[in-house]
Amino acid sequence: MANKNQTLGEFIIENQAAFKYTTGELSRLINSIRLAAKVVNHEVNKAGLVDIIGAVGGRNVQGEDQQKLDVYANDTFIQTLIKRNIVCGLASEEEDDFIIINSQDELHQNKYVVLIDPLDGSSNIDVNVSVGTIFSIFRRVTPVGTPVTIEDFLQPGNQQVAAGYVVYGTSTMLVYTTGHGVNGFTLNPAIGSYYLSHPDMQFPENGKIYSVNEGNYLDFPLGIKKYIKYCQEEEGDRPYTSRYIGSLVSDFHRNMIKGGVYLYPKGSRNPNGKLRLLYECNPMAFLAEQANGKASDGYQRIMDIQPTELHQRVPFVCGSKNMVDKVEEFMQTYGE
Ligand code: AHG
Ligand code: MN
Ligand code: MN
């Protein structure tokens, strides 16, 4: 029975035995993420006060402007995980290549690799709208004690051992899964502890919210255009409500609580969609499925896609199960 007074630290210890491989390593890893998230949270909160907002001048590997907080969040997560000597490799949306940890020194025995989107929704920083961090954790497939290789990162999402996000919103929450449901913890900033506030989170099977950047409408596949019109029709429980924040983490979080579907389809400007399979879609898909929802590229399960490159993009449809089924039905019928 969920105990709402429980802190994240207590929850991790209590549930450690349920992990597939119980050496405590995964628990320590999640502990490090929660620590880095607190540091980033502190920085996000004061973003309006100090000269930290605005573009830093650089562009990331995908040619997007890097915001200062993107860089800060990236460094914080990477440094925290490296210094605590808790993973054997890291990949980040903000890094061109994956990072091998500790390969020169005495070879460590760490088994896990982490993939992160350190700051999701970065275009929202300057306007005081919620942003987030997304993480995905795999066991390495190459032998322990050797430097990690690209193979350790290009695993399909169905191999994830844990995934989660932090939403820096009206309150800061850490939501994660280790394959035994989804639990949400709210940070009490006065004390610096996260408390179990949302035990066993579940997407309602049906929802009434659709979240998509409709500015790209003319560019969408026919199946998506028809689905959007379907959402707007007056019929049964429709029209649905349109809500789009532009931070995947925040849009997902709202839809999981209220019921809804998030779509980032492909188009001529984004021939494979915009979202990244490894840093955004896989972890959100794992959370969605663990919360009784569904994630698809319009035709197939996101977590069954075999990645071929680190920064691969993929069309993304995610949310309440019946709504995602409906989108797939439209794609089947009307296609591109
Ligand atoms: P990031 O800030 O990590 O680059 O991610 C932004 C993503 C996602 O969070 C959001 O839903 C989407 O891009 C918004 O894209 P548009 O502005 O094209 O709608
Ligand atoms: Mn992102
Ligand atoms: Mn990002």
Please report which ligand is nearest the Cα atom of 93: 3
The answer to whether residue 78 sits within a structural domain is yes
Please report which ligand is nearest the Cα atom of 131: 1
Position 65 pLDDT exceeds 70 = no
One domain for residues 238 and 98: no
CA-to-CA distance for 257 and 170, rounded, in angstroms?
15
Interval between CA 333 and ligand 2 midpoint (Å): 30
The answer to whether residue 204 sits within a structural domain is no
Interval between CA 180 and ligand 3 midpoint (Å): 27
- The CB of 70 under 6 Å from ligand 1? The reply is no
Average pLDDT value for residue range 324-328: 98
Check residues 279 and 46 and name the one with the higher pLDDT: 279
CA-to-CA distance for 235 and 71, rounded, in angstroms?
47
Interval between CA 121 and ligand 1 midpoint (Å): 5
Q: State the closest ligand 1 atom to the C-alpha of 274, by its place in the atom list counted from 1.
A: 13
Average pLDDT value for residue range 74-91: 93
Q: Which of 198, 224, 242 is the last residue of a domain?
A: 198
**Of 52, 24, 187, 49, which Cα lies nearest the Cα of 112?**
24
**Average model confidence (pLDDT) for the chain?**
92
One domain for residues 173 and 97: yes
Position 105 pLDDT exceeds 60 = no
- Domains in the chain: how many in total? 2
pLDDT class of 284 with cuts at 50, 70, 90:
very high
Question: For residues 73-82, b (16+ Cβ closer than 10 Å) or e, as one string?
Answer: bbebbbebbe
**Of 103, 113, 81, 87, which Cα lies nearest the Cα of 147?**
103
Q: Which of 198, 224, 240 is the last residue of a domain?
A: 198
For ligand 1, mutation pick of 275, 281, 313 (most atoms within 8 Å of CB): 275
**Of 274, 303, 310, 276, which Cα lies nearest the Cα of 288?**
303
Position 66 pLDDT exceeds 80 = no
Average pLDDT value for residue range 300-317: 98
**Of 320, 324, 300, 121, which Cα lies nearest the Cα of 224?**
324
pLDDT tens-digit map of 156-205: 999 999 999 999 999 999 999 999 999 999 999 999 999 999 999 999 99
Position 19 pLDDT exceeds 70 = no
Interval between CA 28 and ligand 3 midpoint (Å): 24
Please report which ligand is nearest the Cα atom of 250: 1
One domain for residues 48 and 173: yes
Q: Among 16-20, 90-94, 250-254, which is the least confidently predicted range? A: 16-20
Interval between CA 313 and ligand 3 midpoint (Å): 13
The answer to whether residue 203 sits within a structural domain is no
Position 286 pLDDT exceeds 70 = yes
CA-to-CA distance for 67 and 54, rounded, in angstroms?
6
Q: Which amino acid is at 231?
A: C
CA distances from 330 to 171, 222, 228, 235 (A): 37, 9, 10, 17
CATH code of the domain containing 273 = 3.40.190.80
Phi then psi dihedrals of residue 49, to 5 deg: -95, -35
pLDDT class of 20 with cuts at 50, 70, 90:
low
One domain for residues 53 and 100: yes
- The CB of 274 under 6 Å from ligand 1? The reply is yes
CATH code of the domain containing 13 = 3.30.540.10
| Percent of the chain predicted with pLDDT > 70 | 92
One domain for residues 128 and 276: no
Cα dihedral value 163, 137, 278, 109, nearest 10: 170
What does the pLDDT read at residue 21?
59
Please report which ligand is nearest the Cα atom of 123: 1
One domain for residues 190 and 253: no
Q: Which of 138, 164, 198 is the last residue of a domain?
A: 198
One domain for residues 219 and 108: no
One domain for residues 160 and 303: no
One domain for residues 147 and 231: no
For ligand 1, mutation pick of 248, 254, 261 (most atoms within 8 Å of CB): 248
pLDDT class of 60 with cuts at 50, 70, 90:
confident
One domain for residues 186 and 291: no
Question: What is the residue-wise DSSP string for 235-295?
Answer: BTTBSPEE---S-HHHHHHHHHHH-EEEEE---SSSBTBSSBIIIIIHHHHHHHHHTTEEE
pLDDT tens-digit map of 34-50: 999 999 999 888 777 66
Interval between CA 81 and ligand 1 midpoint (Å): 25
pLDDT class of 141 with cuts at 50, 70, 90:
very high
- The CB of 122 under 6 Å from ligand 1? The reply is yes
Q: Domain range for residue 265?
A: 209-334
Average pLDDT value for residue range 248-275: 97
> pTM of the predicted model, to two decimals?
0.95
- The CB of 94 under 6 Å from ligand 1? The reply is no
